[in-house]
Amino acid sequence: MSQPASINVHRSQRGDAHTAAGALDTDRMPLLKLENISKIFGGVKALRAVKFDIMPGEVLCLAGENGCGKSTIIKIISGVYQPEPGAVMLMDGESIEGLDPARARDLGIQVIWQDLALFPEMTVAENIAFEQNLGSRPRIVRYGKMKEAARRILERLGVSIDLNRSVRSLSIAQRQVVAIARALVRDARLVFMDEPTASLSHAETEALLKIVRRLSADGIAVVFVSHRLAEVLDVCTRVTVFRDGQYVGTFPTEGMTQTRLTELMTGRTFDYEVRTTDLTKAPVVLEVQGLSRARQYHDVSFKVRRGEILGVTGRLGAGRTEVALSLFGMTRPGAGSIQLDGKEISLRTNRDAIQAGIAYVSEDRLQLGLVQPQSIGDNTVAAVLDNLLDGTHLIASKKRNALIQDWIQQLAVKIGKPDDAVSTLSGGNQQRIVLAKWLATNPKLLILDSPTVGVDVGARAGIFAIIHKLAAEGMAILLISDEIPEVYFNSDRILHMREGRIVKEYVPGTTTMEQIERDVHA
């Protein structure tokens, strides 16, 4: 069986960034210009002489692997950290050295972190207009004025949310909108968005990108940080790449490919090969016939064989995740049948699916895949607690610890201690823990829904190496992704879904990736 990629390591060429950036309108003054930005933490150089600029109203991507310095530069720009002596920071051509968070906000610099930093018990209006009521002296809160300010901002964004609802009751996508609206109340001119789509569904992501484009049209510069390279190339006009705390370059996204951007971010060339395993005689593990669910998917039929990786791709809202949820017992189809190892099964709940031998890795790792405050160990064994009970119906600690250690070693998860909170891990290692949790159930069928969301490009190869190993050992795998290179180089067959139906099937190697991309985006 072919491996997901063979890697030849080389250092990407430097010095071509100026040529790429030179294609922009050089007559305009940058909104923000940085030169010679360095930061040292305890002798470790987190940033080394970084430089780049941001133009008014542009959507710029800040790209790089985890630990490359993206968060550090954002904290310097927002006044949380101070750079080393010799740094040059200009906004509208004037020096802004010595920033603190309050002055940065006064200048119109806003950061929307991944955790959003909202007040869950307060209303939408209170969260949006929160900073209007801050000050050194107590003052009477004018709720009418607060609601009016919040209403105007939401109208400007083209969205509608009940101003009296508590933020706790909102979806993640709605909370993102509230965080953006709060930034605009302070007359934001430059907004940083840290992984804004990491926990959003495809439809929610599309809605958020519309808001980003609206901000850009209003003259607000947006710096977009995301590991979803397809989104980056779609919404951004330029991409600034960091690697190991250094500036690699700033490049126009026009003509940029995901492969080239990956090379710039990692400094490595990934020579991908398609899978060429003949599985036509392998036994069928999953067979779906005529599966339908009103307003979600229609007449879906396919097979997944032992040791096969079946890819499913398509545009946002194609119905891929909806099918996966029915296969995992989370929703019930209105028509059709599901067979596992030749026997028809009825899945009323996800417990039925787990007992039947089906595991599901959700695209929403933060909300559905892991319990963030709990330990790495507790998350690893969460799906198999019944198997760890001793004669007194208590969890056998030796059995539990052995299972945790076994999966950490098998999946090469980089951790401190098993008792550390799972939130302390990088995105790639968190995803390995999600895999460990479900692999511990010993499934016959593993459903992977966008398994590399929020995972940097360097860690993706490692995750797919695990997936290929599982397939080589005989596991049937359903791989769902909207990143066509991901399914092309990691699937034996690919199904194209559109508007809830399977419209075409491809075999990588006999069909080009470019042809699939044309079909999907037609």
pLDDT digits (tens, 9 = 90+) for 185-241: 878 999 999 888 766 766 778 888 999 999 999 999 999 998 778 788 889 999 999
- Rg, C-alpha atoms of the chain: 24
Please report the beta strands in 42-182, taking only residues with DSSP state E, as ranges in sequence order.
44-54, 59-63, 88-91, 94-95, 109-112
How far is Cα 359 from Cα 362, in angstroms, rounded to an integer? 10
Average pLDDT, the chain: 86
Residue spans of alpha helices (H) in 257-302 = 258-266
Cα torsion through 102, 108, 113, 118, rounded to 10? 70
The domains of the chain, with CATH numbers, are 1-27+55-81+98-108+189-272 (3.40.50.300), 119-186 (no CATH), 284-520 (3.40.50.300)
Residue at token pair 């991944």: 114
pTM for this model (two decimals): 0.63
Query: For the chain, what percent of residues have pLDDT higher than 90?
Result: 49
Alpha-carbon distance values, 152 to 23, 103, 169, 230 (Å): 37, 25, 22, 32
Q: With 80 as the cut, is the pLDDT of residue 94 above it?
A: yes
At 239-255, the pLDDT tens digits run 999 998 999 999 999 98
Burial class (CB in 10 A: 0-12, 13-18, 19+), 129: buried
Beta partners for residue 511, in sequence order: 508
On whether the CB atoms of residues 453 and 363 are closer than 8 A, the answer is: yes
The structure tokens listed for 399 are 């059995």
The structure tokens listed for 69 are 């310095």
Task: Tell which wins on pLDDT, 26 or 451.
Answer: 451
Burial class (CB in 10 A: 0-12, 13-18, 19+), 282: middle
On whether the CB atoms of residues 466 and 439 are closer than 8 A, the answer is: no
